[in-house]
Amino acid sequence: MADVRKIVLTGGPCAGKTTALVRVSEHFTSLGYKVFAVPEVPTLYSQGGWNYLTTNRKFYYEGERAILATQLVLEDWFVRLAETCTLPTLVVCDRGTLDISAYMTPEMWADITAREHTTTEQLCSRYDAVVHMVSAADGAEQYYNTATNANRYEKADEEGLRTARELDKKIIKAWTIHPHLRIVDNHNDFEYKLSRVINEIANVLGLPKNDELKN
């Protein structure tokens, strides 16, 4: 059975996850890893017609429950695939289960997790590490835009920047329970941000930092 590590790559709106996922896959594949990427489930539902800004509470509730249920099934099947590999294997989740809790009240989250026969603690234990990329709305405002995600509701204006910052902090708060949460901010340029993501994952895998990424 392959040595499987499972990592969440998450972050606020316009954090650079899409680019980071490509870079992570390329980098660790070049080191001899088989890399699986679990798709971002909320985007699948948004593209399919669900909208988390709906005023229909039943519609909202069932959508969030569907997202959690789908996330669990997708992750489990990707891990099963990973376990058949002969190479060391990295499963990278484009957002994880606890991200979902950032979009609802604690009471609704408790109800949904109970209906899916799980808990926050059990969900947290599914992952070896969590890497959070801070939204460009917090520290790199000039690069914040919605061009890379047509389903993003946080627009590129002052209100949108404020909403994106608040959501970023809610996502971080949701993951603070995880012992291996790493936060990658915007204090340097974007290439350096990507380098930090790769090095955080390398650390989880027990690999040395890439010499080109140590600056």
200, part of any domain: yes
β-bridge mates for residue 91, sequence order: 6, 36
Sheet with 89-94: list strands edge to edge.
34-38, 89-94, 4-11, 129-133, 181-184
How many angstroms separate the CA atoms of 81 and 72, rounded? 14
Whichever domain contains 149, its CATH number is 3.40.50.300
213, part of any domain: no
Give the pLDDT of residue 172: 96
β-bridge mates for residue 131, sequence order: 9, 182
- CB of 101 within 8 A of CB of 174? yes
Confidence category of residue 152, pLDDT binned at 50, 70, 90: very low
Q: What is the pLDDT of residues 98-138, one digit of tens each?
A: 999 999 999 999 999 999 999 999 999 999 999 999 998 87
β-bridge mates for residue 16, sequence order: none
67, part of any domain: yes
- Span of 65-74, 131-140, 154-163, 172-181 with lowest mean pLDDT: 154-163
Q: What is the pLDDT of residues 164-180, one digit of tens each?
A: 889 999 999 999 999 99
110, part of any domain: yes
135, part of any domain: yes
212, part of any domain: no
β-bridge mates for residue 182, sequence order: 131
215, part of any domain: no
**Residue span of the structural domain in which 193 resides:** 4-207
Number of domains in the chain: 1
Q: What is the pLDDT of residues 38-54, one digit of tens each?
A: 999 999 999 999 998 89
Question: What is the percent of the chain where pLDDT is above 70?
Answer: 90
How confident is the prediction for the chain on average, in pLDDT? 90
